[in-house]
Chains A and B, each alone.
Chain A
Amino acid sequence: MSTATETVKYTPPSSIHVPVEQFPVPRVTKKNVIEVVSQEQVKRANVDGRTELFSRKNPDRIQPGAVLLVETLNSKAKESTSTFMGVVIAIRRKGLETSFILRNIVMKVGVEQRFALYSPMLKSIKVLQPAGAKDTKFRRAKLFYLRDQPGKAFQSLQSLWKLEQAEKVAAKKN
């Protein structure tokens, strides 16, 4: 058939919004299709460089013991956000389902929140204090022992919060 090799150019009417191809076709070097698909999913969900924060090899990655400030959208429609600050006590790396737990002591009660890293409701992650700073070095990957023996792990959070609020106010002024 002579028309098989010709590509027909079709220009849609201006009322139709044609999405632009964002991602190139993946180079399949692995044999496991599921691995390729999940890596592709992570690439697409990685809007603001979250993957780099939690990758295994990055020297500036978030390690257990770091203090993070996470902003989450309350709903997709509204701009309102809620923030949670805490110490990272666990990181679970499972591709698109990567999650981390932040622990904080709110009004004398310990509160833990597990955040799904690639959730579209997660607006931003800010590192307030990297792990290993100020003599708080943790030699474990999972810091669940902090539930019973917090030591000095949560003492600096109040001051970090105040610093962060001050920065926010200063940023708003400028």
Chain B
Amino acid sequence: MIGLKGTMSVIDNSGAIIAECIKVMSGGRYARLGKRHTCDEVVCVVKRARPINPSLIGTQAATLKVKKGDVRHAVVVRTKKEVGRPDGRYVRFDDNACVLLNQKKEPLGTRVLGVVAAELRQKKWMKLVSLAPRVV
């Protein structure tokens, strides 16, 4: 359940470390993983990012990295709030996490580093699921 000002760790290799939610795209108050398979998108500000290697500045690789203060779209992949599965299971993670997206709703980074929730197994996010090392 991530709402305005909610912080999430970013688990891809786009360069961001922590992002803060500024808008929940689904129109609700909170972004969730959702029953019945909906993963909410969110607009977020990058609060902390990895420093861009100075030798890379000006190259194409640098343009893909995000800086502190960038505003990006993201999809929530883990929540601390438990999400119910249709078979009666509830799954809870120890933190909130997201993956940054570009304008075309594709993941910005090329790798996902960490567990993601199985709620992501929808047509929309199949690329993300295939990148994820572990889906629970």
**Chain A residues within 8 Å of B, Cβ to Cβ:** 72-73, 84, 99, 106-116, 119, 121-122, 147
Are B134 and A107 closer than 8 Å at their CB atoms?
yes
> What are the residues of chain B within 8 A of A110 when measuring CB–CB?
93-94
> What are the residues of chain A within 8 A of B92 when measuring CB–CB?
111-114
Secondary structure type dominating chain A contacts: strand
List 10 interface pairs A-B (beta carbons < 8 Å), by A numbering: A73-B87, A107-B115, A111-B92, A111-B94, A112-B82, A113-B92, A114-B90, A115-B89, A119-B89, A121-B87
* In the A-B complex, the 6 residue pairs with the closest CB atoms: A110-B94, A116-B88, A121-B87, A114-B90, A119-B88, A112-B92
Size class of B's contact patch?
A: 10 to 19
Say yes or no for B109: interface residue by CB 8 A criterion. no
- Knowing A84-B136, A106-B134, A106-B136, say if A113 contacts B90 (CB, 8 Å): yes
Say yes or no for B91: interface residue by CB 8 A criterion. yes
Are A111 and B115 closer than 8 Å at their CB atoms?
yes
A-B contact count (CB 8 A): 54
Cα-based distance from A40 to B76 in the complex (angstroms): 42
Are B134 and A113 closer than 8 Å at their CB atoms?
no
Say yes or no for B69: interface residue by CB 8 A criterion. no
A99 to chain B, nearest CB (A): 8
Contact of A111 (CB < 8 Å), options: B87, B91, B133: B91
> What are the residues of chain B within 8 A of A115 when measuring CB–CB?
88-89
Say yes or no for B95: interface residue by CB 8 A criterion. yes
The chain A residue sitting closest to B113, CB to CB, is: A107
Are A72 and B91 closer than 8 Å at their CB atoms?
no
> What are the residues of chain A within 8 A of B89 when measuring CB–CB?
72, 113-116, 119
A22 to chain B, nearest CB (A): 23
